[in-house]
Structure 1
Amino acid sequence: MLPNRMQLSKSTEEQLKKLKAQTGITPNISARIAFFRSIESGYLYDFEPEYKTDGSLTLDKITWLGKTQAFTELLLSSKYPLLDSKQLQLAWATHVEHGISSLKTQKNLPDLLEIVYK
């Protein structure tokens, strides 16, 4: 299970805010899209102990994950069965960071929707 309060790295947070300015999609929704794009790509968290979740946007997991909460936690726990709660949060954060790289170049909502629904 993920902790109740979660945050991302500063750089990921900045990319989510930039994407919001360009598309109007809030950071929590963009983070969900980025997470699932990362999962689909086959990315694996490599247990980076130096990875920092130092962003200022700390939200509860229901806000970050919404209706995808149970599915997200199931995916993470099946992909990384030996990780504890804090380590799963880091895995989630790195998946969001990995997935946002494919979204950050989108200049408007139609462009974003086009790549999401390919």
Structure 2
Amino acid sequence: MRSWTLVVLLACLPMIATAESRHSIKVINDTRNRIVAFAIAPTGSSRWINVDFGDRPFDSQLAVMLEWHDDDVCLRDFRAMLSDGRMIVAQGFDVCRLHVYRPGFWFYNGRQGGMRLP
């Protein structure tokens, strides 16, 4: 299994100087498809921030480390668009307690979140 790590700094998230926290999460593509788009939002807000993976494809079995600074909100929604057109949305993911996100695991095992059509 080949792997690579890319650190993405999401500076466009709101920054609050008095209550700033550092969050990091490792996203492992455990689907059978390439992830063509990925976004993060505070849970229930619909304020999606797109993550740019650069010019490298985010193929199956690869991992990306995401890191950002913002307020102390732990619950996030994740949205992954796959190359076959499916969209996997995980709602209420606790980034303060959990530090690895596998979109395929959440989708195939019926975890919180699920497939949303484009």
TM-score bucket (shorter structure)? under 0.3
TM-score by length of 1: 0.26
Choose between structure 1 and 2: higher strand proportion.
2
Bigger relative contact order (CA 8 A; separation at least 6)? 1
TM-score by length of 2: 0.26
